[in-house]
Amino acid sequence: MLDNAADVDQLRPLLPEVPGCLTLITSRQSLSELHSATHLMVDVFAADEAVRYLAQAAIHVPMGDDPAAAARIARRCGYLPLALDLAAGHMRATPAWTLTDHADRLDERHHQRRLDTGVELALDLSYLHLPAGQRRLLQLLALHPGQDSDAYAAAALADADADLDTTRAHLDHLCRDHLLHQSASGRYAFHDLVRAYAITRAHDEVRPSDRRAALTRLFDHYLATAATAMDALHPAQAHLRPHIPRPARPPPI
């Protein structure tokens, strides 16, 4: 078994050359260059599956004061198997703690925007190999105040002159690396833990003035798009509305 592979070049020296020797590889990358491999996409647990997993992994851990502690732990882990496994490991290392204690600890880390070290290291493998443009886009996209975004908003965040096709290519690559997922056709969203990781990266690596400029571009984009839509729907009332400068690129309507 080869766990958490960074890329194909890391794998090739480790792959057996003996016929019939099965190798199980886990990775956040698509590893599409391994043409003879069978690729299986593993999603996060459903809420009840995560709670059942914790019940099996923490069978000897007392509940504590909160009967919903296991559900809280699962939710704070984003139902991500890796995060749940790390939480279970912390339970084994702290036998005096209750499930309520562990849930309170994860709540504290959430409010402090801190990830467990193991989750952060796993995401590092995906993040650090990204080209500079994709890394920058991931950082700035995490600043978006909504639950998801489209390529137009992502391009506005990235740069006033960002090429839409290049932005779409970056977004598709980030999806293949499982740092983003498509919540609907053309809509891109973060897993909660990946967003927390990307926000931390943005605050550590992007100047405050650049973050403010990115959000200003985003809000200007939405304002210009809304104004264009209003002019199209109600052209006779255009003179009653404030003049909004035309967007830098054609709006998504």
> Both 145 and 63 in a single domain?
no
pLDDT tier at 137, thresholds 50, 70, 90 = very high
CB 47 within 8 A of CB 76: no
pLDDT tier at 119, thresholds 50, 70, 90 = confident
Which of 112, 140, 166 terminates a domain? The answer is 112
Per-residue confidence (pLDDT) for residue 253, from 0 to 100: 62
Residue 68 located in a structural domain: yes
> Both 135 and 229 in a single domain?
yes
pTM of the model: 0.74
Its domain, for residue 80, covers: 47-112
Look at residues 153, 152, 158, 151 and name the one whose alpha carbon lies nearest to residue 134. 158
Q: Using CA atoms, how far apart are residues 85 and 91, in angstroms rounded to an integer?
A: 10
pLDDT in tens, 142-196: 999 999 999 999 999 998 667 899 999 999 999 988 899 999 899 999 999 999 9
Per-residue confidence (pLDDT) for residue 166, from 0 to 100: 93
> Both 135 and 226 in a single domain?
yes
pLDDT in tens, 18-42: 888 888 988 877 787 887 788 888 8
Per-residue confidence (pLDDT) for residue 146, from 0 to 100: 94
Element holding 3 (H helix, E strand) = strand 2-5
